[in-house]
Every structure is written in structure tokens, then in C-alpha cells.
Amino acid sequence: MQYHESMIDLVGNTPLIKLNSVTEGIRATVLAKVEYFNPGGSVKDRIALRMIEAAEASGELRPGGTIVEPTSGNTGVGLAIVAQQKGYRCLFVCPDKVSTDKINVLRAYGAEVVVCPTAVDPDHPDSYYNVSDRLVRETPDAWKPDQYSNPNNPRSHYETTGPELWEQTEGRITHFVAGVGTGGTISGTGRYLKDVSEGRVRIVGADPEGSVYSGGSGRPYLVEGVGEDFWPDCYDRGVADEIVPVSDKDSFQMTRRLAKEEGLLVGGSCGMAVVGALEVAKKLGPDDVVVVLLPDGGRGYLSKIFNDEWMNDYGFLEEGEATDVRVGDV
């Protein structure tokens, strides 16, 4: 019989898919590492599994313990799936600006979600930060993964994403491009590829304009999951050879093109990373192989990036780009 013991067995080993349309005029091969094929639908399943297994091994997470993390998105889904399969409780803390759809996804997987007011000072006892700290202190057998500082976040990529890319490209990868959030993906994958190629593979970060990684001052941007206003411990400042800043508009327009032209319904940080990858690839020749990592799928963004009205409100749609065709138009 061919079957997997549980969804946990399906974490990682995601496919590489060639981009054929958005790459028009580019001579290099551009391949996408499509992370929505993970069981929880994002790259974060990799770090969830590695962080939990390491905490079990070190004794920080005891049988029947509770995982407490401030998260509203992909990391929460990954943690919730691994936790339910291994018999842990999940207690997540989210700010109230997070959409109810995202909170419902976490609850669907069995996590408990505490929603905190956004409109209070960080020092207020009900603030997002204080509530998660208090829950860790007050819950018996609580363990907080802390994806921003946990070394098992980049380590999961050093041990899985990096070796997968090296094998899948038979060592022919010349450039690796990824968005930077906690920095785990680029630091772990990038370090592995540098080590295995003796420094030959170039590592490129893509970053929202305004974020610290590309020299910004923390100016707000709309792409989710990437960019920071501080330097997380998981980010290895020595690994990226180059950081490409990308605007919200370019990120979202590329995200829509990926769905329409490549059959890839992916999130906004994927569009951002592809813009960065094409920026690099356009200067390269036919022997170059650029791999760009796409962290998640697009279904969590249907009411934003894939909604003409929302795109128009922000001035992100060009003339003739609307997809909302009315009866009178055809």
C-alpha cells in the first residue's frame, strides 16, 4: 500500500517549476520553488516541524504541552498541524486587525486564538506583546517557538530547502532569490548553497521598499509576511550578496500575472520575489539558473490582491488591467 503516516510526512520536497511567460526576453532559466505544495500551504511548515522536533529533543516542549506564539498566518498553520498530530495544544495571539478568515483557519486546525486590541500602547496589559508573554508565564508546560530568534528556523532551511534545490538543479543553480521576513529562508537556504558551491551561488534578497533590509526606515507597505522594522536574530547579515527593493504595486501586479499567465495562484510576497528574480535574471545569460522561492498560495489574498476594487483604491491597477468583466463589456 502506498500511503503516508500523516500530513507531517508531506512537509518539504516541493516542486521546481519553470516560469515561461513572465520571463519573456530573459535568456537565463528561471525556476520557482513552489512552497504552497506543503500540507499547510506554505514554506512555514518546514520551520514549524523543525522547531517542534528540536524543542521535544531539548525537553523544552513536554508531552501534552502548549505551544504559545504570536502569529496570525502561515507559521500558525504549520505549528497547528504538527501540534495536533503530536498531541500538543496551540494557543496563538493575534492583533484584531487580522482578518476573521485567517483566524478561522487557525481555529479550524484546532488552535485556540486570543485576539488583542491593536489600538492600545505596547505597554498596555492587553497589548499583543504583553498578552503572549503573560500566556507563556501563566500556562503550565508552555513553550514559545519565537520564529524570529529560534535558530531552528534557518536550520530547517539549511537542512531541507537548500539540499533540495541543489539536488533538483543538479548543482546548476547560479542564483537564489527569496523575500526576507524573519530571514530564516534566505539565511538557511543561502548559507547551504554558499557552502555546497564553495561560494559560487549568488544569494539575492527581495524586500518591500521601506523595510530595513533594503535600507528603509520602516515606512509602511502592504506586502504581507516580508520586510521588517527591526533586525531579527534569524537574519544572517553575511549571506545576501544583494538586496533588491520592490514596490507594492510591482509586487501585486506580478502576483496577478503569475496566476493569469503561469497558473500559479500565489501570495503577494511571491510576486515581490519574482520581480526581484527577474531584475537579476535580465542581466544573465543562457547558462544561468535562477531559483526564486514562492512562500505561499494566493487564496488568503482573494479580497485584496485579486480584487480589482481593492487594487484600484490603492492605485495599483493600470488602465485595462481590471479582471471584473461586466455583461455590457463583452
Which residue's C-alpha cell is 516541524?
A: 49
Q: HSE of 14 in the Cβ direction (CA atoms, 13 Å)? A: 29
State which residue, 26 or 160, has the beta carbon closest to ligand PMP. Answer: 160
205 binds ligand PMP, rule: CB under 6 A: no
Contact predicate 213/207, CB 8 Å: yes
Contact predicate 16/33, CB 8 Å: yes
Please report how close the Cβ of residue 226 comes to ligand PMP at its closest, in angstroms. 5
User: Could you say which residues in the range 214-253 bind ligand PMP, by CB under 6 A?
Assistant: 224-226
Which residue's C-alpha cell is 514549524?
A: 48
State which residue, 145 or 225, has the beta carbon closest to ligand PMP. Answer: 225
298 binds ligand PMP, rule: CB under 6 A: no
Closest CA to 190 of 292, 297, 106: 292
Which residue's C-alpha cell is 492583533?
A: 95
Q: How many residues lie near ligand PMP (CB under 6 A)?
A: 16
For 42, the 3-state DSSP assignment is: strand
State which residue, 39 or 267, has the beta carbon closest to ligand PMP. Answer: 267
CA 228 to CA 45: how far, in whole Å?
A: 21
Which residue sits closest to ligand PMP, CB atoms considered?
Answer: 225
271 binds ligand PMP, rule: CB under 6 A: no
Please report how close the Cβ of residue 184 comes to ligand PMP at its closest, in angstroms. 4
State which residue, 116 or 239, has the beta carbon closest to ligand PMP. Answer: 239
Contact predicate 54/70, CB 8 Å: no
User: Could you say which residues in the range 55-74 bind ligand PMP, by CB under 6 A?
Assistant: 73-74
When binding is defined by CB under 6 A, the residue of 152, 161, 182, 253 that contacts ligand PMP is: 182
Please report, for residues 212, 257, 273, the alpha-carbon distance to residue 250 in angstroms, rounded to integers and kept in the order given: 19, 11, 10
267 binds ligand PMP, rule: CB under 6 A: yes
183 binds ligand PMP, rule: CB under 6 A: yes
Write the binding mask 12 to 41 for ligand PMP: x where contact by CB under 6 A, - elsewhere.
------------------------------
Please report how close the Cβ of residue 77 comes to ligand PMP at its closest, in angstroms. 10
181 binds ligand PMP, rule: CB under 6 A: yes
180 binds ligand PMP, rule: CB under 6 A: yes
CA 270 to chain CA centroid, nearest Å:
8
What's the chain's length in residues? 330
145 binds ligand PMP, rule: CB under 6 A: no
Q: Is 318 exposed, middle or buried, given 0-12, 13-18 or 19+ CB atoms closer than 10 A?
A: exposed
Please report how close the Cβ of residue 320 comes to ligand PMP at its closest, in angstroms. 28
When binding is defined by CB under 6 A, the residue of 127, 185, 253, 255 that contacts ligand PMP is: 185
Catalytic site positions? 44
Please report how close the Cβ of residue 41 comes to ligand PMP at its closest, in angstroms. 10
CA 229 to CA 187: how far, in whole Å?
A: 18
Please report how close the Cβ of residue 225 comes to ligand PMP at its closest, in angstroms. 3
The helix or strand, by DSSP H or E, that contains position 92, with its residue range, turns out to be strand 89-95
Give helix then strand counts, H and E, for the chain. Answer: 10, 10
Q: Which residues bind ligand PMP (CB under 6 A)?
A: 73-74, 179-185, 224-226, 267, 269, 295-296
